[in-house]
Amino acid sequence: GAVVSQHPSWVICKSGTSVKIECRSLDFQATTMFWYRQFPKQSLMLMATSNEGSKATYEQGVEKDKFLINHASLTLSTLTVTSAHPEDSSFYICSASAWGQGPYEQYFGPGTRLTVT
Amino acid sequence: QKEVEQDPGPLSVPEGAIVSLNCTYSNSAFQYFMWYRQYSRKGPELLMYTYSSGNKEDGRFTAQVDKSSKYISLFIRDSQPSDSATYLCAMSDWGAQKLVFGQGTRLTINP
């Protein structure tokens, strides 16, 4: 149980275009989803937290107009990188948790590698 | 100063060795301490978690938390080549869901 999927696993896009990444909880209702960014050989940096049906809460320094997060259902959250640039190239990972679960019960997706050319 | 500090390594040891991975932190409000394993280009998977201070053992893995020193450790006994991965510590305070990660230590177990 507690499986989280991401799609696509790898995407290449041209500079200036937008790309959408999906995060799905396959076997539980995810009331909260998190989006992380990870640069090579670096740690996971939290970008934003989204609760189902509410606006996402962004971490300091993360541009909300550039990284659009939607959490419209209990099984799906999307991250849209708008007007992508090469510096947005990174590994994006989502995680999901259900209501009342502890911080250790945050289940991670396999990640999406974004390359902007 | 980062909230969580972790030696990025890389760390390379022979098969069968005991591995010690460590993190220090500055936020005394942290109550939950997690260790994740991440294989290349994959998402992290939870290995162990500890609440507050103390030790916890699960098979070949032992997690230790010393809140007085703000220091946590993960020990791997009888290390195997399949243990080769990046190990991340993560922490959270009471009632919060946000995780603060260390930088991750790249570990290689040589056959």
- pLDDT tens digits, one per residue of B78-99: 999 999 999 999 999 877 778 9
Q: Where are the alpha helices (DSSP H) in A42-84?
A: none
- Contacts (Cβ under 8 Å, ≥6 apart) of B88: A43, A44, B6, B35, B36, B37, B38, B44, B101, B102, B103, B104, B105
Tell me what pLDDT residue B93 has. Answer: 86
Q: Is A1 in CB contact (< 8 Å) with chain B?
A: no
Mean pLDDT rounded to a whole number for chain B: 93
Closest Cα in chain B to A110? B43
Which single residue is written with the structure tokens 């995780």?
Answer: B99
Of the two residues B24 and B95, the one the predictor is more confident about is B24
Cα(A35)–Cα(A58) distance, integer angstroms: 10
Q: Is A60 in CB contact (< 8 Å) with chain B?
A: no
Tell me what pLDDT residue A1 has. Answer: 63
Q: Cβ A91–B101 below 8 Å, yes or no? A: no
- pLDDT interval class at A53 (50, 70, 90): confident
Would you give the distance in Å from CA B10 to the centre of its chain? 14
Q: Is B28 helix (H, G, I), strand (E, B) or coil?
A: coil
Tell me what pLDDT residue A41 has. Answer: 80
Tell me what pLDDT residue B2 has. Answer: 82
pLDDT at A117 over 90: yes
pLDDT at A101 over 90: no
pLDDT at A24 over 90: yes
Q: What digits encode the pLDDT tens for the residues A56-93?
A: 999 999 999 999 999 989 999 999 999 999 999 999 99
Q: Would you tell me which residues 5-64 of chain B have a C-beta closer than 8 angstroms to some C-beta of chain A?
A: 6, 8, 32, 34, 36, 41-46, 49
Of the two residues B4 and A104, the one the predictor is more confident about is B4
Tell me what pLDDT residue B50 has. Answer: 92
- Contacts (Cβ under 8 Å, ≥6 apart) of A40: A91
Phi, psi of A103 (to 5 degrees): -60, -25
Phi, psi of A109 (to 5 degrees): -80, 175
Cα(A81)–Cα(A86) distance, integer angstroms: 12
- Contacts (Cβ under 8 Å, ≥6 apart) of A73: A52
What is the least distance, in Å, from the CA of A77 to any CA of chain B?
17
Q: A-B interface: how many C-beta pairs under 8 angstroms?
A: 59
Closest Cα in chain A to B39? A110
Which single residue is written with the structure tokens 């009888």?
Answer: B78
- pLDDT interval class at A17 (50, 70, 90): very high
- pLDDT interval class at B53 (50, 70, 90): confident
Identity of residue A54: S
Tell me what pLDDT residue B100 has. Answer: 93
Mean pLDDT rounded to a whole number for chain A: 93
- pLDDT interval class at B7 (50, 70, 90): confident
